[in-house]
Amino acid sequence: MEYILIFIAAVFVNNIVLSQFLGICPFLGVSKKIDTALGMSGAVAFVLTIATIVTYLVQVYVLEPFDLGYMQTISFILIIAALVQLVEIVLKKVSPALYQALGVFLPLITTNCCVLGVAIIVHQKDFDLLSSVVYAISCAVGFALALILFAGLREQLSLTRLPKAMAGTPIAFIVAGILAMAFMGFSGIC
């Protein structure tokens, strides 16, 4: 039951993008088409889950035992950057087709603050390893849900006639705000 609550809270109630405002850059930048949103969502889900596992293990078995808590942020950033590079190298060798599909999105994940944010939130909430993995996957699902919904809305908006002053970024911000308010409706669930 605890894991179901973590999932519902991370996907709907405390959505990493719409409620906690982490990962806004790819949310706004890669949301013009649904297929690019799907690619980015898959890449973020993969890296987010692996990065959370590795940073959790580093936090528990290296930083805390040696009283190096002040090194948390910089070590997490280095771990995330190294993981993204490692994933990129492995995908290039093992699956060139998947590398081509995600190649554009992998370098962008290095600077995606939702990956770092989830790694730090897991430590702040004192999750164990399994709860951390469930939370990371849930945040990835929430990120994907918000990104794909937003991309679908932006694709539909591109088909409508808008006043010149509202076209592009202004309407994207308005739609993102309305989407965030819609997700606020789930706040009474958990």
pLDDT of residue 90: 83
pLDDT of residue 16: 95
CA-nearest of 90, 115, 108 to 26 is 108
Query: In terms of C-beta distances under 8 Å and separation of at least 24 residues, what long-range contacts does 136-139 make, across chains too?
Result: 136/48, 136/49, 136/51, 136/52, 136/53, 137/7, 137/45, 137/48, 137/49, 138/6, 138/7, 138/9, 138/10, 138/11, 139/10, 139/11, 139/16, 139/48, 139/114
126: left (phi over 0), alpha (psi -120 to 50) or beta: left
Give the rounded percent of residues in the chain with a pLDDT score beyond 70. Answer: 98
pLDDT range class, residue 174, cuts 50, 70, 90: very high
Q: Which two tokens stand for residue 52?
A: 């959370």
pLDDT in tens, 12-63: 999 999 999 998 888 888 888 898 888 888 888 989 999 999 999 999 999 9
Checking if the pLDDT of 171 tops 70, the result is yes
pLDDT of residue 103: 67
Domain ranges, ordered by start, for the chain? 16-188
pLDDT of residue 86: 86
Q: What is the mean pLDDT of the chain?
A: 91
The number of beta carbons lying within 10 Å of the beta carbon of residue 112 is 25
CB of 176 closer than 8 Å to CB of 28: yes
CB of 136 closer than 8 Å to CB of 48: yes
pLDDT range class, residue 77, cuts 50, 70, 90: very high
Q: Which two tokens stand for residue 165?
A: 């002053």
Q: Which two tokens stand for residue 176?
A: 């993102």
pTM: 0.90
pLDDT of residue 190: 62
